[in-house]
């Protein structure tokens, strides 16, 4: 624009940003709420021109919002479910692990088993990923209680043995 010294006013979503009258705009550190349309109005004696808007989208990397329970104890055969509670811009991908190994097919935010066995006992983690990174949850230990076996008569099926010297038998 010809016609003298320029003055500037920056706008965020059409509203003036107080004190931002330089020919440049410095933003940051960014927060998720800083996503907006930014534009600048340049003015001098010859007139006024608006440049923009420029859309700024702030992405938040994936983060664990609340951790898995550190210890869960279940009875043998009881079902369980763990759920990943994450925050960020998304979209998210998940991978559940047991004792540090990927669980095949366990790629949703929740991991459930309808009836636990001893093979389900161990340390679980979940890896949550998005386009900006990955984060692993704190470990969650799952213990499986084995039901006590009823006491029995270990000699119920006893037999008598006859040797060359004398008969041998046992009772309880």
pLDDT, tens digit (0-9, with 9 covering 90-100), for 45-101: 999 999 999 998 888 889 999 999 999 999 999 999 999 999 988 899 999 999 999
Indicate if the pLDDT at residue 158 is higher than 90. no
Instruction: Band the pLDDT of 154: cuts 50, 70, 90.
Output: low
Pairing of strands 15-16, 7-12: antiparallel
Query: Is residue 120 classed as helix, strand or coil in its secondary structure?
Result: helix
Indicate if the pLDDT at residue 168 is higher than 60. no
- Of 162, 8, 160, nearest in space to 170 by CA: 160
Under a CB-based contact definition with an 8 Å cutoff, are residues 168 and 160 in contact?
A: yes
Max Cα-Cα span within the chain:
130
Cα gap 125→136, rounded to integer Å: 7
Contacts of 124 (CB under 8 A, 6+ apart): 68, 82, 96, 97, 98, 111, 139, 140, 141, 142
pLDDT digits (tens, 9 = 90+) for 20-57: 999 999 888 887 677 899 999 999 999 999 999 999 88
């Amino acid at each position: 624009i010809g016609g003298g010294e320029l003055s500037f006013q920056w706008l965020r979503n059409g509203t003036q940003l107080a004190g931002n009258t330089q020919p440049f705009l410095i933003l940051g550190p960014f927060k998720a709420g800083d996503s907006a349309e930014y534009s600048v109005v340049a003015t001098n004696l010859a007139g006024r021109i608006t440049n923009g808007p420029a859309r700024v989208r702030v992405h938040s990397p994936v983060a664990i919002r609340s951790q898995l329970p550190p210890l869960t104890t279940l009875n043998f055969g009881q079902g369980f479910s763990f759920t990943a509670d994450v925050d960020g811009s998304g979209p998210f991908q998940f991978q559940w692990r047991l004792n540090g190994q990927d669980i095949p097919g366990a790629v949703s935010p929740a991991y459930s088993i309808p009836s636990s066995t001893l093979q389900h006992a161990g340390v679980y983690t979940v890896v949550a990923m998005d386009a900006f990174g990955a984060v692993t949850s704190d470990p969650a230990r799952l213990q499986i209680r084995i039901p006590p076996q009823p006491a029995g008569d270990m000699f119920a099926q006893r037999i008598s043995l006859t040797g060359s010297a004398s008969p041998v038998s046992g009772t309880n």
